[in-house]
Structure 1
């Protein structure tokens, strides 16, 4: 008699999944790029469910797993991402809101993290997972839990209706699709055109009377996914496991047993399951545990077709780009090759500029060329929404990641602030050889009355005259300058972008590179009196927050806090996240509402500027 594999401790695991993934970073800025890097568009789910996403093969971002949590809230769309898990670190797509869409996602590399890749705990509504590849396998090397990491986990308290369409999951020791918590209601799961192989415990795990498995394939064979795989239940997983809850419907699907001698199991923990298997095929036995009922229709054969269903992606690149595969025999399926680096896609942009960041600190850069310019994935670089490209001028920030660009013509101007290096066509270049070190000129001209001002830039700023700054009552600190004028003028040179011009009292005319500007268009032109600091440096895990002020609110570097584009201010409402860093804000009025998820410290300081 075959040994029944040990069952997953649902309560124990569900408790663990309620905790955020740990941060494994080196500095306070290293994880911010991928921590909340979500596609900002809100898509109507009814429309998205009826449309197959398609994108050019170069139209996806690359995210490296570093232990981060990517939160996907209600109504949000997260799409066209290639997630590199070959780093050995964990990553979690934490789906907390219904009416959301997660599609065109490819997980590339053997996963050695300590948790599931996708966690779902959302309210009522629909969630679509479409065109997702998790087929490179996983091992228990990085996990303290006996089963190792899994692919998808739906929490017991989740109320959303889930659809998994054209998904490929293979080689996960701790379940492929763990969705048997639909038994608790009112949630449901619909597996539509999905493929699974060699998933420990089970591939398709469900329970509700509204659950459907349609046009799907699952089986186990003797594939070895590397060190740390095997020896517990990986080779003994059930293709389908139906728990007690309602009658699950299966149609046009095919399953086969492997080392574990059942193609389908109904019932768990002494409670019966119920299945109506209408059409498709299976090889092996069906287990009806604890009085379970499995009804086999006349259109179910014992000669299953185990080829990958049409449209299921067979590589991470194919999934991320939105490409669909054609049905091929699962034993010899060839990956769909990503042609994002082909010369034909470069449109004559023959040169590559790579900005290689450094763990020790952030690096800000700016450059311009005399031809065309576009971001690139060359040398494993990411393409980030925070990149600024204006014609032939580009600027950005790197830490322990890379930014890359393809361009035509010559590199004319390059400024770099920080420890990072720049390579052009594989050769390191010296920014001093390309234009002015501080290429921008800002002039402040007094109008006859004493006027104080403060200027902040992303790069470095310095006074343009040869006089000592102290002789002109000017204070310069890296990226910030404070000074005053009456009926004279002061000129400064700087690199990076101009982020803030504040005229504290009096009047002044301000010009940037020869053109007069309105200081109100640059940052916080009104000095807000109060400070709010969210400090994640002593917390064991990342924290997310949201708040609303009764007056104005702006981001701040108060107490050496970092400023990041992915923390969002919408009017008087703010939402963001901290890992092992600080976020700070200036505000006016009162904090009317504040929500914190995590253990970050929060400090509200009133009338700070008067202290």
Structure 2
């Protein structure tokens, strides 16, 4: 995901734009340029025209950056990689990219000729490749074995075919290949260049000493003997999916792996440069061999489409419930975001300057939106106030006769529900967090989003969510996190942005009277936010893996802060 407010204009990357073939994307004519993507920046909806014989490089120099909806059109005749990653930290998302027109060996400056994607030895970022199509490259399709010295590479719903050395070249302990495909059916590999030895053309190549995860993926070696090569003492944990061809090296642990791989393009992955640039995908999962899908596959299984379009002015949190089934979708250029989910029929998520989409059956029953985003149902903008309540969930804390203090956090907005002044109830409500105490009374709150944490500092009470008693231990940490991290904007006239990663658990906090802002995002263990002349604070447990600050704010880490 991309930080709100990050640059998205092509001119910010020094691109030379040609005449656009569509209102949905911009055409860039290759002339040997290097297009730089820096910290927090995005490069989206571009068609890169390679048909004139020239080359181009997308150089990812900063973390928390995005390449999305990019198609490389025409046979590549250069001597390098199309995408090179050097970001020293942070997350990088490369999504809906087409590199399927291949390359020749002409003018090579690498041992094996040009390749598609290169993870540089100076990089140490965590890269997710999602819905990428890479075919016909003499060198590796995804050359990511430099993760052995730091960072990670994760592949989701990717497709590789006839790549010379390997399609997925991986190494780091956190590297993973999920719901992806790679195979070879052409011993000449790419147009205009010859085949290699039997040690070439493998779908998966794992660096010595590494352990990688493979889930529900399908590989076939074609005319070459090895579908997977595990160098040295490398190992791989493979669950689900299928392999056709041998495995070199004895470190493959299999679980429910068959020998009949499905080699079609994963659903949602583009099959042409124009499809990628315009955000269109193969939702029906059609292959690229010219076979038409069944007519029944032309219609989506679920009849309605809900699209949440974000706004870069602020984050937007949403949730909705439909009458029938709900499933995520990549329609209209939307992403399938790790921060989004579906639980007990309720879909929820967060958007900034990107889109989330879902398909659903039946009527839309409830819809809650916190933020500037816009919701469309079947192409028409809808008013969330017409669907259910703004704060649809009820949370009750029922005392058991002994003084009990507690803290509640939700992924949305929470308010005290009662006629009394919250201050009279010893209740502190700040955005998405409540701190209070009860003895023999019941306190009631209404909230949107998901309940993420219920913590008792002393005593115990019964907790009811929408009328049903729940087990508080199933919601977040049962013990308070010990350490505090405070970002102080002081009296600065300019805002400061920050991002950091915790190898453990992290939650927002009002420690030292800090504000709790909805536009500060916690995505798994990665945090990013903006502070002006106030404080932002977080409770955490575990080491701080990475911290980046842009601005004049001060940062204070207090270990075991609750004991001070």
The 8 Å contact of residues 362 and 397 in structure 1, kept in 2 or not, is answered as yes
Is 1:346 paired with 2:314? no
Residue equivalent to 1:439 = 392
Residue equivalent to 2:189 = 216
Q: Could you tell me how far apart the structure 1 residues matched to 2:292 and 2:316 are?
A: 30
Residue equivalent to 1:407 = 360
Q: Deviations over 1:235-287 (max 9, x none)?
A: xxxx79xxxxxxx9689x9xxxxxxxxxxxxxxxxxxxxxxxxxxxxxxxxxx
The 8 Å contact of residues 81 and 117 in structure 2, kept in 1 or not, is answered as yes
Q: Could you tell me how far apart the structure 2 residues matched to 1:311 and 1:217 are?
A: 19
Change (3 A) 1:325 1:377: closer
Q: Deviations over 1:91-150 (max 9, x none)?
A: 6689xxxxxxxxxx9952579xxx9544489xxxxxxxxx99425799xxxxxxxxxx99
The 8 Å contact of residues 286 and 293 in structure 2, kept in 1 or not, is answered as no
Change (3 A) 1:529 1:577: closer
Is 1:86 paired with 2:49? no
Q: Deviations over 1:204-250 (max 9, x none)?
A: xxxxxxxxx9513445xxxxxxxxxxxxxxxxxxx79xxxxxxx968
Residue equivalent to 1:99 = none
Q: TM-score, structure 1 length as denominator? A: 0.48
Change (3 A) 1:533 1:67: farther
Tell me how large the CA RMSD over aligned residues is.
5.7
Change (3 A) 1:514 1:363: same
Unpaired segments ≥5 residues, structure 1: 1-22, 31-64, 71-82, 95-104, 122-130, 139-148, 159-164, 183-190, 196-212, 220-238, 241-247, 254-309, 327-335, 568-575
Q: Could you tell me how far apart the structure 1 residues matched to 2:549 and 2:487 are?
A: 10
Which gives a bigger RCO, structure 1 or 2 (Cα 8 Å, sep 6+)? 1
Tell me by how many angstroms 1:167 deviates. Answer: 1.9
Tell me by how many angstroms 1:24 deviates. Answer: 8.3
Q: Deviations over 1:563-587 (max 9, x none)?
A: 53443xxxxxxxx586989998645
Q: Could you tell me how far apart the structure 1 residues matched to 2:371 and 2:295 are?
A: 29
Change (3 A) 1:193 1:379: closer
Tell me by how many angstroms 1:460 deviates. Answer: 1.2
Residue equivalent to 2:446 = 493
Q: Could you tell me how far apart the structure 2 residues matched to 1:509 and 1:469 are?
A: 20
Q: Could you tell me how far apart the structure 1 residues matched to 2:293 and 2:38 are?
A: 28
- Which residue among 146, 162, 185 is the counterpart of 1:193? 162
- Which residue among 470, 476, 480 is the counterpart of 1:523? 476
Any idea what SS the aligned residue of 1:346 has? coil
Change (3 A) 1:583 1:120: farther
The 8 Å contact of residues 440 and 512 in structure 1, kept in 2 or not, is answered as yes
Change (3 A) 1:136 1:602: farther
Q: Could you tell me how far apart the structure 1 residues matched to 2:326 and 2:100 are?
A: 35
Q: Which moved more, 1:315-324 or 1:447-456?
A: 315-324
Change (3 A) 1:415 1:579: closer
Tell me by how many angstroms 1:192 deviates. Answer: 8.4
Aligned residue pairs, count: 370
Q: Could you tell me how far apart the structure 2 residues matched to 1:117 and 1:533 are?
A: 40
Q: Deviations over 1:385-434 (max 9, x none)?
A: 33211353211111111111121211111111111111112222111111
The 8 Å contact of residues 192 and 214 in structure 1, kept in 2 or not, is answered as no
The 8 Å contact of residues 24 and 66 in structure 1, kept in 2 or not, is answered as no
Q: Could you tell me how far apart the structure 2 residues matched to 1:154 and 1:325 are?
A: 27
Q: Which moved more, 1:483-492 or 1:577-586?
A: 577-586
Tell me by how many angstroms 1:556 deviates. Answer: 4.0
Is 1:167 paired with 2:135? yes
Q: Could you tell me how far apart the structure 2 residues matched to 1:92 and 1:579 are?
A: 25
Change (3 A) 1:468 1:109: farther
Change (3 A) 1:512 1:609: same
Q: Could you tell me how far apart the structure 1 residues matched to 2:426 and 2:536 are?
A: 31
Residue equivalent to 1:386 = 339
Q: Deviations over 1:518-546 (max 9, x none)?
A: 222211231222235799xx9x9998867
Q: TM-score, structure 2 length as denominator? A: 0.51
Q: Could you tell me how far apart the structure 1 residues matched to 2:522 and 2:36 are?
A: 18
- Which residue among 71, 74, 79 is the counterpart of 1:108? 71
